[in-house]
Structure 1
């Protein structure tokens, strides 16, 4: 299957002896002065991660409050997300970005959508020549310059067929060179926004190995990055400085293809403002082609969108006005009372960044401003009042006059306010989040921080993401850090950065960071990069550090993938592979953890419907039945877990009528698939034990169990 390309490569990497736990902190590898910080029961074989999920089973303990909160955050992100005010993913289907994978083979429709309106930049032929001669080329440019579409166009120009594979940005040069990526003849490969972890001393040698491997397989590879290589460090693979194509040509091509009249095309071109990103041009062209007036459309993009904000910041502003805009950037959409409360708290934190009023006149003016807080908001050109419907009621919300203003306001704040001011903002937001606000306020703060990563990633990573993920603001801080990464996944240019942050947390010795990483991989980040998510979560499961969190996260990822209509086999297949690899292993913590994680995944429930995900999947996607059956065979074959597995299997069969109009057919198909993978002669003992468990249920459920067992036993011959 197309989506298995990255998984096969990852399994090969994991099974290589030299790479089995290459980046996994182990207790014996820790410095002597480094605390272990593992949960007290972490290494007890009797503790089954599955016992911390499956709410409908009253005999099982509930999940920890921390993990439940994280799961609620991920479900909230998908179910209630309104990121329109954040302007993520312009030109790339907005929040749909977080609902589809970013790696694997490009389907024909997606490739055509990229290639059909493509306009070549001036550097295109230079890159084609390098790719033709070396088999590999690296495109270097800032975000928003069209590197992604350029990479696909380059491999299309030289690849023999029409197959294009997008590789994970987390792939190292060693992965590319040593066979851990299965290059195929005639296929074009694209690695977007590669995370640079190279040593300058070995960079040229490593790139030479990559080049030779790609040549050997007669493939082509285009890598994109935002970091220019040090002069003279790499000579074996050419690094081309990528350029924007002519944006007026991009606009003309898209409008002509949409059937716009020539005079309308030229009017739109003449009104296009400077400073536009290529993605902005694409979405503006779509709006104009649908009938929107060009002069109105262009107000939302490029310098036209930024200028009113810049004009506001160019005038002298009082500390209260600075606080108004800063509060709005992070507390967007709140009502007057909540907004003013947050603003007042911010003013206290940032007060040291401003000179104290000295004269009586200055003190009186400051006092008047504090009293007239709402009047001041009404006079602020960057603050608008929006009436939002909330059922039968109408709610007042404070927002920016245009959603695009939020990004530009944050950029102006970052440029014009110094460290003392941002120290106050940091302390204010930490206090705000630690007070465990509602998920709506958490999401607003997360959106603001995700937007701030564009001009100031280090500020966000060092002062918010890392401390909060480590527990500095409590569970709510960890959840908000997860939401920041989910918001970053809405933007093609930030998704790889979010992946890098979560990978760093997953490799940390700090159990709180690893727990937050697990939560992040169970949501939008896992949907965008499923292979990376499952790889990191399985490493945590096998290593025993926060293995329960990782098992619950795998179950959460299955639920989210199913909800998004994505391939849940991205979790099932690696788990089945692990079970097969450990079949001959009699005991050991790694095996215990894998078995516990498998049962947890099989018992995963949809957070909204409460239905078992695997039961729904066997009805919705029959192709998954064989892999699900293989997972069941693995846990049923384990004597210590057989009782719990039988109870869970019985529950799965009992739920089939709730998720299927033809439960008998699903039960029979499931039974045959399980019978084919059970060890020889295991069918009759399983039938006897399951009948005993099912005897306590109703007759309808018992009939389904009999259909299932008849199918299981039919494979004995």
Structure 2
């Protein structure tokens, strides 16, 4: 983000968090996060991503960890155009790999870079533009990857820009591999080679993973004939692992995802009734529902379909006087069906939840529906989704839509547009957030989720911008923390364009990132830089106010356990105390925010007693760092203001405040004596 961008789009109004911030926004945000964390990340959860593309809660961009590289290349089988890609990368320092989602392009990119350099490897944002690639700096000898980059529309300047990228990377002595799902038009980009990328021969993958196993060729012959066309690489890896552990090949195939695909296809091929098809359709978006919840949902879906695809009737179809009452509930979980019942113990009581008998059936049901059903069916499904999303079914709908996105992402995008825009109410906005969060767990879909959130936050309606802000504050922000922090800051400078309190979203992003990794430092470093630029004489006053409010919001953030996120981060990473102290110093010396800053600091020190086994030492270290960060004239007045607050709260005084102030005074006194 350039200085010019920030100067031309200042915030119209900023407010101190906790004063004018909407309590409703805070409650909505808390409910969204707690509901998601309690359902998706709970042990034994029905929801989440369980396929081969699952990336989990780890950053998708930044420096690649050595162990991640080692694991990715531990058993690597090169595909058909691998040598061509190596040659292109060696000659031009840049190469583009083209291929479908999830076909191994990311691992291939890492392997290509390791052919030419043993220096650190970095993953760049998938939404980085060609112009940004041409203008950025590259570290000599290092490798860079852009996974499934969002390609711009082809123009007369595209080839020239690619030429500039190539020259920049080569001049810097680095290497760049870009992967994409788009196929470049012939002769459109001659400056950089675009190599078609396919997954390696599956039999060769089996051989690589079964090294040391007796009678390998016989084993491969025994299973290869049962492998379907388009078989996924992760399925082969799992199959090989089972065989290598001693499992019978035929038995191993029973666990193979392809067997689920075949079973579901055969189930549909038998000519199912209208109700049977709608049962599995409804369950695809309501996994984990109990029967009494599911049956009304199914009835509503039947009603929607009856309008768009009415059943043909004849004059002889009049009801009979003694018509048999059907046993539909028993038929729902038929022995040869796809639906089963899972018994779950909750609060001491056993609950019966409807699920697919095999979890992988879920994905293949959606595949079969997409390949078989016409537009009228999907229109009815959309109307049904729009209706039931307002009935607290958000997570279940999001789970189904995230899985559908693997198959028909445009269909999902159509649904999310109206949900994110607030047209269907707050619960629909929440469900749209959940869909993008679940998509962010998927290595192939995460870039799509990122692009969607960026579009909403940059060019969307006020409601869409707020939906995007919440999305960036959670799981999508975990995957792309730099992008999330920068996008939220840009929205803060235009906070009048969003329908919610963007400061809350930034503070929640910090709280989300503060658990377990150093990525929360990304938010702190960004704000530290903003203070350097705007907390000085002559700077834009509105941007200065926005910066102070952002810092105070972040330092006031609470983790999901209710503790101070700033102090939790400081305890886990004590070497980050100095940057935290600089941020505290900024809000403490700013008179309009001083009282709220003191309150937030007292609350954090109170939490420190349970966050650390050495709370006194931690308080003293922060006090010393704070003394060094504060201007000389601030120490005594701050000490007095702290004393007044402590006196006002005698019944709930925080003992560690005295330790922090003592350290601050000691450093200040030492400084005065040396001067």
How far residue 363 of structure 1 moved from its aligned partner, in angstroms, is 5.6
DSSP-derived class of the 1:560 partner: helix
Q: Is the 8 A contact 2:40 2:48 kept in 1?
A: no
Q: Is the 8 A contact 2:308 2:376 kept in 1?
A: yes
Secondary structure of 2:609 counterpart: helix
- The structure 2 residue matched to 1:222, chosen from 177, 180, 184, is 177
Whether the aligned pair in 1 keeps the contact of 2:300 and 2:384 (CA below 8 Å) is: yes
Query: 3-state SS of the aligned residue for 1:262?
Result: coil
Provide the residue aligned with 2:291 in structure 1.
Answer: 336
Distance (Å, rounded) in 1 between the aligned partners of 2:352 and 2:625: 56
Q: Give the superposition deviation at 1:261.
A: 2.6
Indicate whether 1:425 and 2:409 are aligned.
no
CA distance in 2, matches of 1:254, 1:162: 27
Matches within 5 A, 1:182-261: 182-256=137-211, 261=213
Alignment partners' CA distance in 1, 2:93 and 2:559: 45
2:265 alignment partner in structure 1: 310
Is residue 47–residue 396 contact of structure 2 (8 Å, CA) maintained in 1? no
Q: Distance in 1 between matches of 2:39 and 2:114?
A: 36
The yes-or-no answer on 1:386 pairing with 2:342 is: yes
Whether 1:656 and 2:608 are equivalent positions in the alignment is yes
Q: CA deviation at 1:422?
A: 1.0
Shift of 1:198: 3.9
Tell me: CA distance 1:286–1:632, structure 2 relative to 1, closer, same or farther (3 Å): farther
Once residues 13 and 317 of structure 2 are traced to their aligned partners in structure 1, the CA distance between those partners, rounded to angstroms, is: 66
Equivalences for residues 161-176 of structure 1 within 5 A: 161-176=118-133
User: In the alignment, which residue of structure 1 is the partner of 2:68?
Assistant: 110
5 Å-filtered alignment, 1:378-457, equals: 378-379=333-334, 381-435=337-391, 437=392, 441-457=393-409
TM score, norm. by length of structure 2: 0.92
Mapped partners of 1:360, 1:396: distance in 2 = 41
Q: After superposition, what is the alpha-carbon deviation per residue over 1:427-476, rounded to whole angstroms, capped at 9, x for unaligned?
A: 111111112x1xxx4222111101111221111101x1111011122111
Change (3 A) 1:301 1:472: farther
Whole-Å separation in 1 of the counterparts to 2:185 and 2:430:
38
Quote how far apart the aligned CAs of 1:236 are: 0.3
TM-score under structure 1 normalisation?
A: 0.87
Task: State yes or no: 1:536 paired with 2:487.
Answer: yes
Show CA shifts across 1:280-338 (max 9, x none).
Answer: 22233344445554434333445422111111222322221121110111111212111
1: CA distance between counterparts of 2:504 and 2:422? 19
- Secondary structure of 1:228's counterpart equals coil
- Deviation at residue 533 of structure 1 after TM alignment: 0.6
C-alpha change, 1:639 and 1:360, in structure 2 (3 Å) is same
Distance, in Å, in 1 between the alignment partners of 2:535 and 2:204 is 59
User: Which residue does 1:602 correspond to in 2?
Assistant: 555
Distance 1:555 1:158, change over 3 A: same
Question: How far is the alpha carbon of 1:188 from its aligned partner?
Answer: 0.9
Q: SS in structure 2 opposite 1:563?
A: coil
Contact 2:503 2:553 in 1 (8 A): yes
**Structure-2 residue corresponding to 1:482:** 433
Residue number in structure 2 paired with 1:499: 450
- Indicate if the aligned counterparts of 2:25 and 2:501 stay in contact, CA closer than 8 A: no
Residue 637 of structure 2: which of 682, 685, 710 is its match? 685
SS where residue 109 of structure 1 aligns?
A: helix
Task: Please give the alpha-carbon distance, in whole angstroms, between the structure 2 residues aligned to 1:687 and 1:556.
Answer: 30
Contact kept in structure 1, 2:399 and 2:438, CA below 8 Å: yes
Does the Cα contact within 8 Å between 1:98 and 1:525 map onto a contact in 2?
A: no
Classify 1:86/1:570 alpha carbon distance in 2 versus 1 (closer, same or farther; 3 Å): closer
Count of paired positions: 662
Q: CA deviation at 1:155?
A: 0.5
Task: Tell me the distance in 1 between the aligned counterparts of 2:131 and 2:48.
Answer: 37
Q: Aligned ranges for residues 695-714 of structure 1 at < 5 Å?
A: 695-698=647-650, 701=653, 703-714=655-666
Taking the aligned partners of 1:265 and 1:595, their CA distance within structure 2 comes to 67
Give yes or no for the alignment of 1:666 onto 2:618: yes
Q: Distance in 2 between matches of 1:250 and 1:701?
A: 65
Match among 599, 618, 643 for residue 647 of structure 1: 599
The more displaced of 271-280 and 466-475 is 271-280
Structure 1 stretch 229-238 or stretch 285-294: which is displaced more? 285-294
| 2: CA distance, partners of 1:369 / 1:345 | 23
Deviations 1:198-227 (A, max 9, x none): 442221111111101101100000000000
Tell me what 2:42 maps to.
Answer: 80
Aligned to 1:619: 571
Q: Which residue of 1 aligns with 2:281?
A: 326
For each residue in 1:55-99, what CA deviation from the matched residue of structure 2 results, as whole angstroms up to 9, or x when unmatched? xxxxx9564443333333453366437666665442x6x4xx331
Aligned-partner SS, 1:119:
coil
The answer on whether the counterparts of 1:255 and 1:289 sit within 8 Å (CA) in structure 2 is yes
Deviates more, 1:415-424 or 1:218-227: 415-424
1:49 matched to which residue of 2? 17
Aligned mates of 1:699, 1:443 — CA distance in 2: 43
**2:366 aligned counterpart, secondary structure:** helix
Contact conserved, 1:579 with 1:594, CA < 8 A, in 2? yes
Summarize the Cα distance change of 1:403–1:372 in structure 2 as closer, same or farther, 3 Å threshold: same
Give 1:569 shift: 0.4
Partners of 2:331 and 2:535 lie apart in 1 by 70
Cα pair 1:74 1:523 within 8 Å, conserved:
no
**Cα root mean square deviation, aligned:** 2.6
Cα distance change of structure 1 residues 399 and 77 upon mapping to structure 2, 3 Å threshold: closer
CA 1:127–1:510 in structure 2 vs 1: closer, same or farther (change >3 Å)?
same
Q: Do the aligned partners of residues 391 and 294 (structure 1) sit closer, same or farther apart at CA in structure 2, a change above 3 Å counting?
A: farther
CA apart distance, 1:387: 2.2
RCO comparison, higher one (Cα < 8 Å, 6+)? 1
Name the residue aligned to 1:284: 239
Structure 1 residues 319 and 16: CA distance shift in structure 2, 3 A? same
Change (3 A) 1:71 1:479: same
2:530 is the counterpart of 1:578: yes
Change (3 A) 1:65 1:680: same
Deviations 1:26-79 (A, max 9, x none): 59xxxxxxxxxxxxxx8444x2234478xxxxxx95644433333334533664
Structure-1 separation of matches of 2:424 and 2:95:
44
Q: Deviations over 1:402-433 (max 9, x none)?
A: 11111111011112111111111111111111
